[in-house]
Structure 1
Amino acid sequence: MIKWAGWLITLFGAAHTLGALTVEKAARHTGTWFSGRLWGDDLAAMSPANSAYWLSLASFGVPLIVVGLIVLWLDRRGIAPPPFIAWTLGIWTVVGAVVLLFTPWPILLLANVLLLIGARRAARHDNPAPHADITRTP
């Protein structure tokens, strides 16, 4: 379950970022992004280039990729990810769902549920993350 959650989170972040760059055509503004013209842009009245930047590279897509890859990395090492990852992403997902109902938020919600169930099962099997025992000598 943890592996599925990690893949879903990673793919969601990648799909969001790549979709924004290609389908939404945000990449056409890269010249503006790297020219420094966004430095003085008004966030309250975003230019199309600034809006495209926040939709793609500055969105939560890239951090979701990182979180998903960390979950996969932990799973490969037999370490259950801490539940706060799923709870935090779950709360963020629900807020996003309330704000924008017609988005693919159910995918992230499924990933969060899988992550919570997987972490709970790992804890039940007494195999959560290894803990350092400072009283034990090697």
Structure 2
Amino acid sequence: MEQGRQRMIRWAGWILAIIGGGHLTLGLLISASSFDEWLTLELWGHWWEDTRAANSFWANPAGFGWPLLLVGALIVWMDRRGIVPPEFLAWAVLGWGVVCAVIVEPTPGPVVVIAALLLLRGIRVAAARDGSEPAVLAR
């Protein structure tokens, strides 16, 4: 049972980290033509405007790639130390993934949903094995 829980949680973390890192990497490669505007602080005066540089900034370094990469890396880090991630983390990623999957296509949102469900299942299996309740945000 321990092995199954670990595998589910580990896979969920890696899936999320790879999607986040892939989004960030591909997005930055596609946005390379906007770097000069970002680095010369030209967005300061018109960050709210609908320009190619502003759109690429908000979609890439300010988008969901970094947070998803960090959440995935955190889950893998916790798993390697035998720490079961809190259930609220799985629920938050699940909600985020569902919104992305429904509103924006094509998107890896459905894969994020699968990873979140895998994480949630792994957390619940770990709680059942330990005879405890999964950690939630508030009681």
The number of aligned residues is: 127
Aligned to 1:26: 31
Are 1:59 and 2:63 an aligned pair? Answer: yes
Which 5+ residue runs of structure 1 have no aligned equivalent? 129-138
Aligned pair partner of 1:94 in 98, 115, 131: 98
Q: Deviations over 1:82-128 (max 9, x none)?
A: 01111011111111122114322111011101100100011111187
Tell me the equivalent position of 1:132.
none
Shift of 1:46: 1.8
Following superposition, the deviation at residue 31 of structure 1 comes to 1.1
Q: CA deviation at 1:27?
A: 1.8
Deviations 1:16-38 (A, max 9, x none): 1111112xx20221111011110
1:15 maps to: 22
The aligned amino acid for 1:19 is: L
Q: Which has the larger radius of gyration?
A: 1
Distance in 2 (CA, whole Å) between partners of 1:68 and 1:32 is 30
Of 71, 76, 81, which residue of structure 2 is paired with 1:77? Answer: 81
Distance 2:94 2:109 in 1: 10
SS at match of 1:107: helix
Q: Deviations over 1:36-71 (max 9, x none)?
A: 11001151x321111111111110101111111100
C-alpha distance in structure 1 between counterparts of 2:84 and 2:47, whole Å:
43
Superposed CA RMSD in Å reads: 1.8
Identity %: 41
Contact 2:28 2:60 in 1 (8 A): yes
What is the TM-score normalised by the length of structure 2?
0.85
* SS of corresponding position for 1:96: helix
Which secondary structure does the structure 1 equivalent of 2:130 belong to? coil
Write the distance in 2 (CA, Å) between the matches of 1:38 and 1:12.
27
Q: Go from structure 1 to structure 2 and tell me whether the alpha carbon gap of 1:48 and 1:124 turns closer, same or farther (over 3 Å shift).
A: same
Mark the runs of 5 or more structure 2 residues left unpaired by the alignment: 1-7, 133-139
| Partner SS, residue 118 of structure 2 | helix
Q: Aligned to 1:81, what secondary structure does the other structure show? A: coil
